[in-house]
């Protein structure tokens, strides 16, 4: 596929005219899918998908287009050149872009990470026995995802990786659920069975009658899946330099008034695990590791070259949206065996849902508890709790109320498939909070 991309891109580069610049990129996958319902296979198959994106710059004007490729080089070249012609016709009618980013020359890259995945013929036999006897619905996705980027200055990047994920829900007879995702780059049957058994243990606890607790502030443990959802919010009006410059970031107070989070909280971009390409859509390569928040203090933001040009700051080659592509939150000192004991009395939240900023400038996030969430007394789970809304500020729960984090960071994969299988995910621990505000 890399050779196909380089050949297609080279043919398109031969067609550019004077005063024109061109970016060509591809994204695709070769995946095996299995859909489960009631722990039975309902659908399986393979998907091969390849999409081409083109960005043309003429003077200071920019236009772009995209198309789905067939994989036939001759056919895709003809259609790609037709798309380039279409873009060229419309670019004259567009306004100039004062912050246009032109392609640059430099050192290219080629990184292909090979995992150890189940063969499609082995998948059902490996997965089904551990889930048998339970009402499980879910999607298995496994295989190679890849992307490439080249420009008219001769810079070329290629990235591919092997990944798998089983995203599933276990359901009780009363329609209460346990939600989990098992994912990695290397299949381990023992680890999978242990993980599934842990979910089934939670399912048995969900069969206990649920209780309703009053709104208020509670000592709380949030599992890695829930923490991952909160970390994702930092990519939406959080660590973006443009958002801070425009005054609508939740971290503005950390820039303007030296507000801090907890010493237990450190967050960085970390591309070293090879699950995400280090280059962005303009072919720029980000640092392998970039500390964003270190022991509660804002150290860096994500700065795209466009933002750098607009606000006269230095770029660290973030993506256009300045969201985190490879977030990693540092673990703490809390062992998994001690979570309930240290929590003692309070709320154990496995998952959160429907998150949004309720007061972005104040760092307040609202959302719902969801799936397997429990009330804990004397270090033991008593019963599931009914769903509740929370509304609290990162300056509280990731600030003075953050007591510790678990001593292992867990991989929470991007399982999106709307535009093809996603790259990477969030590495983060669970967190123990002295207080967390449940409002409804």
Number of residues written out for the chain: 440
Query: What is the per-residue pLDDT for 27?
Result: 95
Q: pLDDT per residue over 182-202, tens digit each? A: 999 999 999 999 999 999 999
Q: How confident is the model at residue 420 (pLDDT cuts 50, 70, 90)?
A: confident
Mean pLDDT of 336-352: 97
CA distance 302 to 316: 7
Query: What is the per-residue pLDDT for 257?
Result: 84
CA distance 134 to 168: 12
Query: What is the per-residue pLDDT for 71?
Result: 93
Any alpha helices (H) in 354-414, and if so which ranges?
394-395
Query: What is the per-residue pLDDT for 147?
Result: 97
Mean pLDDT of 4-9: 95
Exposed/middle/buried for residue 185 (C-beta within 10 Å: 0-12, 13-18, 19+): middle
Q: Are 47 and 33 in contact (CB under 8 A)?
A: yes
Mean pLDDT of 52-72: 96
Residue 418 pLDDT greater than 90, yes or no: no
CA distance 312 to 307: 8
Q: How confident is the model at residue 429 (pLDDT cuts 50, 70, 90)?
A: very high
**Structure token digits, residue 101:** 């980013």
Query: What is the per-residue pLDDT for 122?
Result: 96
CA distance 421 to 101: 28
Residue 335 pLDDT greater than 90, yes or no: yes
Report the share of the chain in percent with pLDDT over 90.
96
Q: Which of 100, 23, 35 is nearest to 64 (CA)?
A: 23
Q: pLDDT per residue over 165-180, tens digit each? A: 999 999 999 999 999 9
Mean pLDDT of 211-224: 98
CA distance 269 to 291: 6
Mean pLDDT of 100-116: 94
CATH 3.30.2290.10 region(s) of the chain?
2-206
Residue 97 pLDDT greater than 90, yes or no: yes
Architecture of domain 2-206: 2-Layer Sandwich (3.30)
Query: What is the per-residue pLDDT for 419?
Result: 80
Query: What is the per-residue pLDDT for 405?
Result: 98
Mean pLDDT of 3-10: 94
């Amino acid at each position: 596929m890399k050779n196909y991309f380089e050949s297609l891109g080279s043919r398109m580069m031969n067609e550019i005219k004077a005063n024109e610049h061109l970016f060509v990129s591809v994204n695709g996958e070769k995946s095996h899918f299995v859909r489960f319902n009631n722990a039975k296979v309902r659908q399986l198959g393979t998907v091969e998908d390849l999409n081409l994106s083109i960005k043309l710059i003429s003077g200071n004007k920019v236009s772009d287009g995209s198309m789905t490729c067939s994989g036939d080089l001759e056919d895709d070249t003809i259609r790609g050149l037709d798309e380039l012609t279409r873009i060229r016709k419309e670019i004259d009618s567009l306004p100039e872009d004062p912050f246009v980013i032109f392609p640059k020359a430099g050192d290219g890259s080629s990184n292909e990470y090979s995992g150890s995945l189940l063969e499609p013929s082995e998948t059902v036999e490996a997965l089904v026995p551990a889930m048998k006897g339970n009402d499980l619905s879910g999607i298995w996705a496994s295989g190679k995802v890849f992307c490439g980027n080249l420009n008219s200055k001769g810079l070329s990047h290629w990235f591919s990786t092997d990944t798998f994920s089983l995203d599933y829900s276990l359901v009780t007879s009363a329609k209460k659920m346990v939600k989990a995702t098992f994912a990695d780059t290397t299949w381990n049957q023992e680890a999978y069975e242990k993980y599934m058994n842990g979910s089934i243990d939670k399912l048995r606890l969900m069969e206990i009658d649920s209780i309703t607790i009053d709104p208020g502030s509670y000592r709380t443990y949030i599992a890695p899946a829930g923490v991952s959802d909160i970390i994702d919010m930092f990519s939406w009006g959080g660590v973006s330099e443009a958002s801070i410059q425009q005054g609508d970031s939740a971290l503005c107070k950390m820039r303007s008034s030296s507000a801090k989070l907890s010493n237990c909280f450190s967050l960085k971009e970390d591309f070293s695990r090879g699950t995400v390409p280090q280059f962005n859509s303009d072919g720029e390569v980000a640092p392998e590791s970039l500390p964003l928040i270190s022991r509660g203090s804002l150290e860096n933001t994500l700065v795209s070259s466009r933002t750098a040009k607009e606000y006269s700051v230095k770029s660290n080659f973030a993506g256009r949206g300045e969201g985190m592509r490879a977030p990693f939150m540092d673990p703490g000192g809390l062992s998994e065996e001690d979570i309930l004991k240290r929590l003692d009395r309070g709320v154990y939240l496995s998952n959160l849902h429907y998150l949004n900023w309720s007061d972005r400038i104040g760092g307040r996030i609202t959302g719902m508890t969801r799936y397997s969430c429990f009330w804990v007394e004397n270090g033991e789970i008593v019963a599931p709790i009914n769903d509740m809304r929370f509304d609290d500020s990162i300056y509280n729960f990731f600030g003075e109320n953050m007591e510790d984090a678990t001593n292992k960071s867990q991989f929470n994969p991007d399982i999106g498939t709307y535009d093809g299988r996603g790259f990477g995910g969030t590495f983060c621990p669970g967190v123990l909070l002295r207080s967390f505000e449940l409002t409804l």
